Structure 1
Amino acid sequence: MILFIHRLGLDPKLLAKILNMSSGRCWSSDTYNPVPGVMEGVPSANNYLGGFGTQLMAKDLGLAQNTATNTRTPVPLGSLAHQIYRMMCARGYANKDFSSVFQFLREEEGQ
Structure 2
Amino acid sequence: RLGLDPKLLTQILNMSSGMCWSSDSYNPVPGVMEGVPSGNNYQGGFWTTLMAKDLGLAQHTTTNTKTQIPLGSLARQIYRVMCACGYADKYFSSVFQFLPTPLLP
Asked whether the two chains share a fold, i.e. TM above 0.5, the reply is yes
CA positional deviation for 1:106: 2.5
User: Following TM superposition, where does structure 1 have runs of at least 4 consecutive aligned residues deviating by more than 2 angstroms?
Assistant: 106-109
1:61 is the counterpart of 2:82:
no
* Residue aligning to 2:67: 73
1:82 is the counterpart of 2:65:
no
Tell me the TM-score normalized by structure 2: 0.95
| Counterpart selection for 1:91 from 68, 79, 85 | 85
Structure 2 gaps of 5+ residues are none
CA positional deviation for 1:108: 3.4
Instruction: State the percentage of identical aligned residues.
Output: 79
More helix as a share of residues: 1
Aligned length: 103
Cα-Cα RMSD: 1.0
CA positional deviation for 1:107: 3.1
Separation in 2 of the partners of 1:79 and 1:59? 12
Structure 1 gaps of 5+ residues are 1-6
1:103 is the counterpart of 2:97:
yes
Amino acid at match of 1:54: T
CA positional deviation for 1:13: 0.4
Separation in 1 of the partners of 2:81 and 2:102? 11
